[in-house]
Chain A
Amino acid sequence: MIRLYNQSKLIQKREVLQMIKITKPQVEAELQTFLGAEAYIHSEATSFVFVRNFKVRVTDVFIAGEGPFRAALRFDGHGWLRMEALTHYEADGSGRLLLAGYDDRGRMNVALHLGKEPFPE
């Protein structure tokens, strides 16, 4: 007989916030580490589209706005990728920069990830 009714009391609301709010100088510096390099891109906007592991050679990086922020990449001499509504980021220490835009209830609207290696498929 498995009875775990008390578990509902044990699971309390968490208070730690792990994603970091974007500050322009930090994110700009992180973006610049991809300049002139090949990068793998994961990008998505709400539920409508995602692309994963586009490989591009990044030639220019931009971040703009006062929050939420806009970011753009130029790549391969002829390409653009632009996203807006970015709010949070994480540089996860393994050559990956993860930018994301959340609404005020934690739902992700947009994501722009750059990696030196492919993201797990």
Chain B
Amino acid sequence: MRKLLAVFAHPDDESFICGGTLAKYASEGVDITLVSATRGEMGRRMGNPPYLNRETMAAAREVELRQACECLGIGQLLFLDIRDKTVEFIDEERLTARIETIIHEVNPDVVLTFHETLGGHPDHCAIGKAATAACRRTGHQGALYFITFGDAMARPERYGYTRKDVIRIDVQAHLAAKLAAFRAHRCQTEIDEWVWLPDQEALAKFGRHEYFLKADREAPTRDPYDLF
């Protein structure tokens, strides 16, 4: 059985950034494990109108993430129990070792995480850096890809990358699952009117592709449209 391990920072990273790809591989029978470093309990969006406060947020977002995992077909969910917004302050060696242990247990064919400088949020960059180091140590570097935002990597040259560093996944057939996952993260998406439009109108807002960067730029690309 093919296995994919995703190491992210917050509930919703998996859905908002690469939900189509996860749904696609799950639908093909890939066994997916998601690690969320935090429960996203320091987010500013509290529902619209608000139904959460700082103290109820962690549990609510965990429930929402579990529902999103069902929508996408993610089989296993692990939390690292780090407080939201503090990942970069966690001892780096211990964090790397924890991820290393998970990699040993899962033994994935593909690992997804954030790029340690292009991650866009301090928690993203910190978990990406630790996951990248862990993959290097376990010999999984060839399996590692960085998730990217929207269509940014349709033109990777701006970021110092070339087309051969990019894997482009066609998620058109899996956008309904992605939309369901967006709606599962309701405290985060209620503020976005487009998510709650009739299905066909909401689906039209999604791009057809999700893009991934190869961590090991020297490794030959077998198929520029497939992570496995």
A interface residues with partner B (beta carbon < 8 Å): 1-5, 7-11, 13-14, 16-19, 42, 44, 46-47, 50, 88, 90, 92, 96, 98, 100, 102, 105-109, 111, 113, 119-121
Contacts and interface: CB of A to CB of B under 8 A. Distances in A.
Contacts of B183: 7-8, 11
Given A4-B70, A8-B179, A14-B186, A106 B48 contact: yes
B27 interface: yes
A107 B180 contact: no
Interface in B58-86: 58, 67, 70-71, 73, 83, 85
Contacts of B184: 7, 11
Interface residues of B, number: 35
A8 B175 CA distance: 10
Nearest to A16: B51
A102 B52 CA distance: 10
B180 A8 contact: yes
B46 interface: yes
Interface of B: 26-27, 29, 42, 44-55, 58, 67, 70-71, 73, 83, 85, 176-177, 179-180, 183-184, 186, 190-191, 196, 199, 202
A111 B27 contact: no
Given A11-B67, A106-B45, A111-B54, 16 more contacts: A3-B27, A3-B177, A4-B177, A7-B70, A8-B180, A8-B202, A13-B186, A13-B196, A19-B46, A19-B53, A102-B46, A106-B46, A107-B44, A108-B45, A113-B55, A121-B83
Given A2-B26, A11-B186, A47-B44, A107 B191 contact: yes
Contacts of B27: 1-3
B54 A44 contact: yes
Given A8-B180, A98-B55, A17 B71 contact: no
A44 B53 CA distance: 12
Report the 5 A-B pairs with minimum CB-CB distance, sorted nearest first: A106-B48, A7-B180, A5-B176, A2-B73, A11-B183
Contacts of B191: 105-107
Contact of A102 (B50, B83, B177): B50
A7 B184 CA distance: 9
Contacts of B46: 19, 100, 102, 106-108
B51 A18 contact: yes
B177 A108 contact: no
A108 to B, nearest CB: 5
A108 B44 contact: yes
Nearest to A14: B186
Given A2-B27, A8-B176, A11-B183, A106 B54 contact: no
Residue with the greatest number of chain A CB neighbours at <10 A, chosen from B26, B70, B180: B180
B192 to A, nearest CB: 10
Given A13-B196, A107-B46, A5 B177 contact: yes
A77 B207 CA distance: 58
A98 B70 contact: no
A42 B49 CA distance: 23
